[in-house]
A and B are shown apart, each in its own frame.
Chain A
Amino acid sequence: MIDFEAEIDEYRPSLEVDAIEDAIVRSDLTDMNDLMMELIKDANKR
């Protein structure tokens, strides 16, 4: 049988429309290219 309390706790609030600016600012846009560039830069420094 379903564990109601646990099931409910899994849910997260939806992003409110008025809060999208903060969400955009906090977005982590780092992609694999950025990571590779970081790694290459670190290797070159060494």
Chain B
Amino acid sequence: MDYARKTRVIANSYYNMGLERARLRDLTGAALCLKKSLHFNKYQTAARNLLGLIYYEMGEVGDALVQWVISMNLQAEDNRADYYLGELQRTKGGLDAARHSVRRFNQALNYAQSGSEDLAFIQLTKVVELKPNYVKAQLLLAVLCIAREDYQKAGKAVHKVLQIDRNNPKALYYKTLIKPTAAVKPARDPERRKFKKNVLSHRQMEDDDVIIPPSYRENTRDQAVFNILAGLLLGAAVIFFVVMPANTRSIYAKHNKEMTKYSEDLSRANQKADELEKQLSDLEADKKSAEDSLASLTGDTDSVLAQYQTVIGMLQAYRNDEFNTVVQLYTNLNPDLIASSDVQAVIAGITEDVKKDGLPVIESMGDAASQAGDAESALVYYLKCIDLKPDLWSAKYKAAMIYKGLNQKDQANEIFTDIINNSKDEELTANAKNERGF
């Protein structure tokens, strides 16, 4: 047997040994056998492919790729490594995930070796969550947990490693460190077992995770009904004692506010009504004043307009040469109501004419009225005569007689006395004395 054949036989033997150990999930031992096989025969493609597969299974994707690529270089045809590389590339995001996991582990290792155990712990937790078969990450996490005396978590990591690589020396060593600690705690205690179970199943919380407390119990139907009724009663109580008073206060406050607003509006309306009433009364007063002014101008015979008409009538009578008509109209004239100086001048001229020639006419008009029984009209005419000529004693005597007849003795006696003292007419004086009672 030549050397070449002997080396091939040895290589094949190591490969068989490695394959056997790999089937028993002794990956570390299998990897050692396969490396030895390749030391004897680098063309042992099956051994190299299996070594890559073991690396891949342990999470060492980079090492696996190295072995498979070398395998393809050494045997390009009919090589299982071609399938492995193709699968890895075909898996969507598989290579990227592996790349990130490895990078994160290296960073965690760097943190741990530089003394930042907490940062390393966080990174490793993420790595093993994404890639639970990453043996080296699980082992490093176990070391950190042991250092933190978190033996439950360390035990979980070690357990996971031993599931992947049954005879991993480090995992077995860490297991020996964890076991005595675990033995102190009685496993029969149900609460502790539950706690341990919870701890071992611990993982990083997701956004939509719900924490269910250990004391949580599913409700029975009666309990559910009771809880609903209790909830309804509690809700009603809250509404009655909390919501209703608040609502009532709110309604009262709103009502008071509205009332205040209405009162203010009413007050303003009353003020406006008072102002309007005052304006109305002022306007009515103005109207009455205007009506009075209009009446004084146009109404009765004493009105201004009537006075002007009288003047016009007198001038017309002058034109017709009817002096008696002039005198009759003059008796109705009140010159004080005429403001025009020109008209006053005309009236003055008429007055002179009446004084000169019209007094007998006026006196006769008084006599006619007296004979007709109209004593008041007669008195007006007589007083007009006295006004125009104070020493017209006959008119005075007749006026005094009318006053006496009207039972106005003071006025009558005053005129009688004037006649007695001042008149030269003896007959009138004697009659006056007689009427006066002397």
* A interface with B by C-beta (< 8 Å): 1-2, 4, 7-9, 11, 13-20, 23-24, 27, 29-34, 36
Nearest chain B CB to A2 CB, angstrom units: 6
Q: Which of B105-113, B206-214, B335-343 contacts A (4 or more CB under 8 A)?
A: B105-113
User: CB distance A17 to B140 under 8 Å?
Assistant: no
Whether a CB of chain A sits under 8 angstroms from the CB of B65 is yes
CA distance A27 to B73 in the complex (A): 13
A9-B113, A16-B106, A17-B62 known; A1+B4 contact, CB < 8 A: no
User: CB distance A11 to B62 under 8 Å?
Assistant: no
User: CB distance A27 to B102 under 8 Å?
Assistant: no
A11-B109, A27-B66, A31-B7 known; A16+B143 contact, CB < 8 A: no
Q: In the assembled complex, which residues on chain B have CB atoms less than 8 Å from the CB atom of A13?
A: 105-106, 109-110
Nearest chain A CB to B127 CB, angstrom units: 10
CA distance A9 to B110 in the complex (A): 10
User: CB distance B136 to A11 under 8 Å?
Assistant: yes
Q: In the assembled complex, which residues on chain B have CB atoms less than 8 Å from the CB atom of A16?
A: 62, 99, 102-103, 106
Whether a CB of chain A sits under 8 angstroms from the CB of B42 is yes
CA distance A1 to B7 in the complex (A): 44
Choice from A1, A9, A15, A31 contacting B41 with Cβ under 8 Å:
A31
Q: In the assembled complex, which residues on chain B have CB atoms less than 8 Å from the CB atom of A17?
A: 61-62, 65, 95, 98-99, 102
A9 nearest CB neighbor, chain B only: B113
Q: List 22 A-B contacts (CB under 8 A).
A: A2-B146, A2-B177, A7-B143, A8-B109, A8-B140, A11-B109, A11-B136, A11-B139, A13-B109, A15-B102, A16-B99, A16-B106, A17-B61, A18-B99, A20-B65, A24-B66, A27-B70, A31-B40, A31-B41, A32-B39, A32-B40, A36-B3
Instruction: Digitize B305-338: 1 where CB-to-A-CB distance is under 8 Å, 0 elsewhere.
Output: 0000000000000000000000000000000000
Q: How many A-B residue pairs have CB under 8 A?
A: 93
User: CB distance A24 to B106 under 8 Å?
Assistant: no
User: CB distance A33 to B95 under 8 Å?
Assistant: no
Instruction: Digitize B102-135: 1 where CB-to-A-CB distance is under 8 Å, 0 elsewhere.
Output: 1101100110110000000000000000000000
A2-B146, A4-B147, A13-B109 known; A29+B41 contact, CB < 8 A: no
Choice from A2, A11, A19, A20 contacting B140 with Cβ under 8 Å:
A11
Whether a CB of chain A sits under 8 angstroms from the CB of B369 is no
CA distance A1 to B140 in the complex (A): 16
Q: In the assembled complex, which residues on chain A have CB atoms less than 8 Å from the CB atom of B361?
A: none
User: CB distance B143 to A4 under 8 Å?
Assistant: yes
Whether a CB of chain A sits under 8 angstroms from the CB of B63 is yes
Q: In the assembled complex, which residues on chain B have CB atoms less than 8 Å from the CB atom of A32?
A: 7, 10-11, 39-41
CA distance A17 to B98 in the complex (A): 8
User: CB distance B143 to A8 under 8 Å?
Assistant: yes
Overall SS of chain B's interface:
helix
A22 nearest CB neighbor, chain B only: B66
* B interface with A by C-beta (< 8 Å): 3-4, 7, 10-11, 38-43, 59-63, 65-66, 69-70, 73, 95, 98-99, 102-103, 105-106, 109-110, 112-113, 136, 139-140, 143, 146-147, 174, 177
Nearest chain A CB to B72 CB, angstrom units: 11
Nearest chain B CB to A37 CB, angstrom units: 9
B176 nearest CB neighbor, chain A only: A2
Nearest chain B CB to A21 CB, angstrom units: 9
A17, A24, A27 — which one has the most chain B CB atoms within 10 A of its CB?
A17
Q: Told that A19-B62, A31-B38 touch, could you supply 12 new A-B pairs with CB distance under 8 A?
A: A2-B177, A8-B112, A8-B143, A9-B113, A11-B139, A13-B105, A17-B95, A20-B66, A32-B39, A33-B3, A33-B4, A33-B7
Choice from A19, A20, A30 contacting B69 with Cβ under 8 Å:
A20
CA distance A20 to B362 in the complex (A): 158
Nearest chain B CB to A39 CB, angstrom units: 9
Q: In the assembled complex, which residues on chain A have CB atoms less than 8 Å from the CB atom of B69?
A: 20, 24
B134 nearest CB neighbor, chain A only: A14
Q: In the assembled complex, which residues on chain B have CB atoms less than 8 Å from the CB atom of A20?
A: 62, 65-66, 69
User: CB distance B63 to A15 under 8 Å?
Assistant: yes
Nearest chain A CB to B111 CB, angstrom units: 10
Nearest chain A CB to B420 CB, angstrom units: 161
Q: In the assembled complex, which residues on chain B have CB atoms less than 8 Å from the CB atom of A18?
A: 99
Q: In the assembled complex, which residues on chain B have CB atoms less than 8 Å from the CB atom of A31?
A: 7, 11, 38-43
Q: In the assembled complex, which residues on chain A have CB atoms less than 8 Å from the CB atom of B10?
A: 32
